[in-house]
Chain A
């Protein structure tokens, strides 16, 4: 009995990753068959180049946000302000470089600190005032771009700063530096959530905040922490976006990226109702979205069609995961007396 239970516990996570992995494999197999040179990786100047590397590199901001968003969604919350936090973080960094001529350490730390505190604001609204997550973060989502434009004076601040540009354009060990950042953040999140009790606390708060409070978990503090972490992830993503284009574009930086991130998390097998979460699943989800985009683009299909295809694939993957859908397919579409 115990043995079987243990066995099930071991099989469930791998099963949950099955669908997203299958979707990713399907896209890659399609590329293998129909996109020439998709899998070729060449070494130029000691750096690796190729479509696969490109996918990893370009998905970095999305992956970072997806990591933070997974933890937020695991507490049955949502954070739709991350796109705005990206814009603010980029704007602060650009202002520090171009206007204040601040040293590099300040350029890196101040935007992260600002994003972290914005995350704390979100978290305290949700944890201590008890406001619904989508509403609380909506405030910052609406006001955030205004604040970012306030910082940049409504202009796109362009800057030149070699060390800062390294974040998005540099290479470490042959691979783009962004991959290192994502790997580090993923390792940090995995370490915190799987090697300490924090992950269990997060899942328990997501399943039933009331019960976890009675069990002695400080649900408020867990929520606060999770939103702060999500803010920090968005801040780092903002640095990458700004460093990549060597400018701060308050209107477009991270625009609607929160929605992509939520999709990535959901595709990765974390349900919006909270509870169990999968960080690796979220990364796979982000890679699915990015490789889908890259595939469609390399197929020479017009950019405007990308969104249609993307939404259809997302709906398909999402429905395949939904138990109701599988049940409905299984038991011929019988309408329950609603």
Chain B
């Protein structure tokens, strides 16, 4: 039994090892890669992806999938920019509206998935097209934001000394990560998510409120996507309806690289966090290298995905085999 417990940490441990290896390898080959500012940049550049990937982790843990996140990011981004710049709302009033909008979309999709027993893949696919369309209806052009309050909170940060600043979007990212960790591991809801992902049938028989939890998972994911949209808007100081195209796949890739099984029930948010970090290290490495083109990022991510998926598969195979032999 003890070996079984160890085994479930192996994918996450692998993720952390790969991240450390990549970081050290990149740091040894390029001067300045170890600079703290570079590390902060990993967090800044991928804050929105990280937040979205967190929501995706919950969905995948529950055994589902959500393809709509990239579009929801674009929709909330454009909505925020439009309300602030065109309708002259105060940003503090706009944020709750954007978050509510994302949550409502997630809630709606969760309801359709639960009540009509529709496959999440198709429902969120329709949600993806819908949200992207709505974003484009609001505005086809990128809307830059000049509101003084918005600019202030965007440029605000906690100084860490040596001229290094921890900017507000990183704080939001880390804050969201902390909350998500708490929800996943220290609440009843978190346990229910794991239970449903492990086996929906068993969870129902144990008395887990399957329907409520599922809808809540998609609502939470919608909320986090909206938060990701706001962070992206702060990062780029603009809302753009074409932003975040293909983001859902990046998020799923981060989750898988982070050691979460796509069949649900197994995985950790911390793994996803490291998965996003790996994405950042690869991107920065390619920028440092200079001669490599951006498409190498995609190929590298693809190769990493492949390695991790095969690794997970092998682990599952061996654990099943050992359980089998123990049963005999």
Residues of A within 8 A of B (CB): 78, 129-132, 134-136, 138-147, 149-150, 154, 259, 262-263, 266, 272-273, 302-312, 314-315, 318-319, 322, 324-325, 328, 335, 338
Contacts and interface: CB of A to CB of B under 8 A. Distances in A.
Contacts of A272: 119, 121-122
What DSSP secondary structure best describes chain B's contact surface? helix
Interface stretch (B8-16, B29-37, B249-257): B249-257
23 contacts: A135-B309, A138-B249, A139-B302, A139-B305, A139-B306, A139-B309, A140-B302, A145-B295, A259-B129, A263-B122, A306-B133, A307-B136, A308-B134, A311-B126, A311-B129, A312-B130, A314-B129, A315-B123, A318-B118, A324-B116, A335-B115, A338-B204, A338-B212
Contact of A311 (B115, B133, B313): B133
Contact of A322 (B116, B126, B256): B116
A2 to B, nearest CB: 33
Contact of B116 (A134, A138, A305, A325): A325
B65 A142 contact: no
Contact of A138 (B140, B253, B295, B310): B253
A132 B129 contact: no
A259 B272 CA distance: 25
B156 interface: no
B293 A149 contact: yes
A316 to B, nearest CB: 10
A295 to B, nearest CB: 16
Interface string B100-135: 000000000000101111110111011111101110
A262 B126 CA distance: 11
Given A129-B313, A308-B137, A315 B126 contact: yes
Interface of B: 65, 67, 112, 114-119, 121-123, 125-130, 132-134, 136-137, 140, 204, 209-212, 241, 249, 252-253, 256, 262-263, 293-299, 301-303, 305-306, 309-310, 313, 317
B310 to A, nearest CB: 7
Contacts of B298: 142-143, 145-146, 149
B126 A318 contact: yes
Given A149-B293, A272-B119, A338-B210, A259 B136 contact: no
Given A136-B309, A305-B133, A324 B295 contact: no
B249 A143 contact: no
Contacts of B211: 335, 338
Contacts of B116: 319, 322, 324-325, 328
A324 B117 contact: yes
